[in-house]
């Protein structure tokens, strides 16, 4: 079963310097029907104006990753990490016992567009950690490239949860099939463009909860960039 949620059904937050669209309940947006899916808790589609950003704030016991679509995001944290995250980069931050960080648009002229995604960890109180890696367009072109796994296998970043995340680019005749393991749920988020998943048409910002679909086929892409989450079954 594929349960489609259209982009225009998401929560909206506009602060002038930030335009954010919330797939799941977040901040002032609360929908008891949209509290996450399995261990996937947040997908925020953020656009930050030049020179603006999120001042220093704290997290604990959450797996937080950013996926940059356009522009550059500047990161600083209480572990002493300082980096700039650009298109194709994935940043993974395990907040663990507690971490403070800031995220700013690195450019004074161009906006930055990125996804911020939270996954609930399978353990608490661990030492905070930071990971960052670039996944090239060639690695994602016409296929689903693993970017996050529980054991950091296949060249992916590690996450403290029984979850795997894949990224893919699809255009024209490009297609890929993915076997969802038995007793697993899937979630698809279309970051940009448009694509079909098992015949279901999806566009930028659309999401889909997937249950009891052992084989997923991605095709008919139009400049599509997609994320696929392989998750434990749960109550949400």
Residue 1 maps to a domain: no
Can you list the positions of beta strands (E) in 37-184? Answer: 40-48, 53-59, 63-70, 72-77, 82-86, 89-94, 99-105, 112-119, 129-134, 144-149, 157-158, 164-170, 176-179
**Torsional class of 191: left (φ above 0), alpha (ψ -120 to 50), beta (otherwise):** alpha
Q: Residues 124, 177: one domain?
A: no
| Cβ-contact 43, 24 below 8 angstroms | yes
Q: Residues 175, 127: one domain?
A: no
Question: So what's the pLDDT on residue 196?
Answer: 98
Q: Residues 126, 142: one domain?
A: no
Q: Residues 115, 177: one domain?
A: no
Which pLDDT band holds residue 109 (cuts at 50, 70, 90)? Answer: confident
Residue 235 has pLDDT above 80, yes or no: no
| Tally of structural domains, the chain | 2
CA distance 66 to 57: 16
Read off the CATH number of the domain in which 33 is found.
2.60.120.10
| Domain stops at, among 108, 135, 162 | 135
Q: Residues 89, 161: one domain?
A: no
Q: Residues 175, 124: one domain?
A: no
Residue 236 has pLDDT above 70, yes or no: no
| Domain stops at, among 135, 160, 188 | 135
Residue 53 has pLDDT above 80, yes or no: no
């Amino acid at each position: 079963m594929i349960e489609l949620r259209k982009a225009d059904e998401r929560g909206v937050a506009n602060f002038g310097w930030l335009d954010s669209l919330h797939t799941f309940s977040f901040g002032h947006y609360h929908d008891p029907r949209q509290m996450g899916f399995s261990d996937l808790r947040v997908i925020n589609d953020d656009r930050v104006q030049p020179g603006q950003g999120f001042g220093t704030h704290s997290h604990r016991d959450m797996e937080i990753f950013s996926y940059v679509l356009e522009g550059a995001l500047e990161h600083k944290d209480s572990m002493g990490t300082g980096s700039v995250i650009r298109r194709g980069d994935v940043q993974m931050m395990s907040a663990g016992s507690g971490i403070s960080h800031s995220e700013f648009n690195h450019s004074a002229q161009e906006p930055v567009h990125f996804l911020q995604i939270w996954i609930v960890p399978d353990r608490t109180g661990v030492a905070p950690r930071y990971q960052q890696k670039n996944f090239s367009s060639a690695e994602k072109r016409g296929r689903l490239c693993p970017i996050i796994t529980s054991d950091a296998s296949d060249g992916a970043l590690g996450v403290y949860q029984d979850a795997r995340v894949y990224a893919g680019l699809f255009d024209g005749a490009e297609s890929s099939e993915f076997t969802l393991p038995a007793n697993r749920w899937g979630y698809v988020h279309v970051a940009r463009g448009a694509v079909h998943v098992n015949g279901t048409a999806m566009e930028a910002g659309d999401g889909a909860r997937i249950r009891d679909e052992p084989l997923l086929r991605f095709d008919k892409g139009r400049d599509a960039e997609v994320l696929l989450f392989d998750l434990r079954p749960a109550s949400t």
